[in-house]
């Protein structure tokens, strides 16, 4: 009987200790991530690219540089300083939670938005900072989520991993940095409308960001003089809401207007790989 009671007591105290150990492990991670965040802000305020490289993930840094190069620009001290200027001020927010998966982690904070919903209830805003463990924790992405976040009894709702936007989503891995592209002959814009499909566009061997809804932005790598090889791979998604996809590439002209060089709008045989040759003079 005494052995049985002792065993029950051991199980009971073990159950009490598990949350305590969870808290003990969570606190150092929170502290480490916050230190990494403050180092990132300090590096950003310096305007120094070499300092920024120590605190920003290689994937994010090289992706950013490729966008700038493709737009005939470069990473200047003023651009670097803007990162800190437009970052969330977590000192004015309340820590909500740490989400970790493998070499990915998110710090989540909550603060009063200063606004109320239609019923007059105060609302809050969540900010999430994604880190990757790349020879130490480095900042990869930031997101803010503004929406009513109070229950009727005044309690804050929880922020779930499913609330993370694609840039802050976690697969536990560290994404490799893309190769730096060369300064293009001409900058261009890529417009993609592909509800119900995933569109993968490759221009002159440079893959663009896969799109599963709609997106418009700078064409990474831009356009070459004369011959440009373009590949568009369309994959049907498991959804009944397919629409006719529309993909355009527009060359940016010196007078800040654009000229369409490719329009892809298939009404039949949408799936598969479609190839094109576009000439730019």
Q: What is the pLDDT of residue 1?
A: 44
Indicate the average pLDDT of the chain. 87
Which pTM does this prediction carry?
Answer: 0.82
Q: What is the pLDDT of residues 1-11, one digit of tens each?
A: 443 434 333 33
160 — pLDDT class (breaks 50, 70, 90): confident
Sequence-distant (6+) residues with CB within 8 A of 159 are 96, 97, 108, 110, 126, 128, 145
Q: Cβ distance 33 to 26 under 8 Å?
A: no
Q: What is the pLDDT of residue 159?
A: 80
Residue 177: how many other CB atoms lie within 10 Å: 16
Does 233 score more than 50 pLDDT?
Answer: yes
What one-character-per-residue DSSP string does 38-92 give? Answer: HHHHHHHHHT-HHHHHTTB-HHHHHHHHHHHHHTT----HHHHHHHHHTS--GGG
Q: What is the pLDDT of residue 266?
A: 94
Q: What is the pLDDT of residues 82-124, one digit of tens each?
A: 999 999 999 999 999 999 999 999 999 988 877 777 777 777 8
More confident residue, 57 or 12: 57
Tell me the CB-side half-sphere exposure of residue 263, using CA atoms within 13 A.
Answer: 5
Q: What is the pLDDT of residues 235-256, one digit of tens each?
A: 999 876 788 999 999 999 988 8
């Amino acid at each position: 009987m005494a052995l049985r009671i002792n065993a029950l007591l051991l199980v009971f105290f073990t159950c009490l200790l598990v949350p305590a150990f969870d808290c003990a492990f969570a606190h150092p991670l929170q502290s480490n991530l916050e230190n990494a965040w403050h180092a990132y802000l300090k590096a950003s305020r310096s305007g120094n690219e070499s300092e920024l490289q120590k605190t920003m993930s290689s994937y994010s840094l090289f992706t950013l540089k490729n966008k700038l190069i493709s737009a005939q620009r470069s990473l200047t001290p003023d651009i670097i300083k803007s990162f800190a200027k437009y970052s969330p001020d977590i000192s004015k927010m309340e820590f909500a939670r740490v989400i970790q998966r493998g070499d990915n982690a998110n710090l989540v904070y909550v603060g009063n938005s200063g606004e109320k919903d239609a019923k007059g209830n105060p609302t809050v805003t969540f900010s999430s900072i994604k880190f990757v463990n790349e020879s130490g924790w480095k900042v990869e992405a930031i997101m803010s989520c503004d929406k009513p976040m109070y229950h009727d009894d005044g309690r804050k709702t929880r922020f779930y991993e499913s609330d993370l936007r694609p840039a802050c989503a976690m697969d536990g891995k560290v994404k490799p940095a893309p190769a730096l592209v060369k300064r293009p002959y001409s900058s261009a814009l890529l417009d993609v409308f592909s509800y119900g499909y995933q569109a993968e566009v490759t221009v002159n061997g440079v893959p663009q960001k896969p799109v599963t809804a709609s997106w418009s932005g700078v064409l990474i790598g831009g356009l070459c003089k004369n011959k440009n090889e373009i590949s568009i791979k369309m994959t049907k998604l498991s959804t009944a809401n397919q629409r006719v996809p529309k993909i355009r590439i527009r060359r940016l002209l010196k007078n800040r207007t654009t000229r369409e060089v490719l329009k892809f709008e298939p009404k039949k045989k949408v799936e598969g790989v479609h190839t094109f040759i576009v000439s730019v003079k």
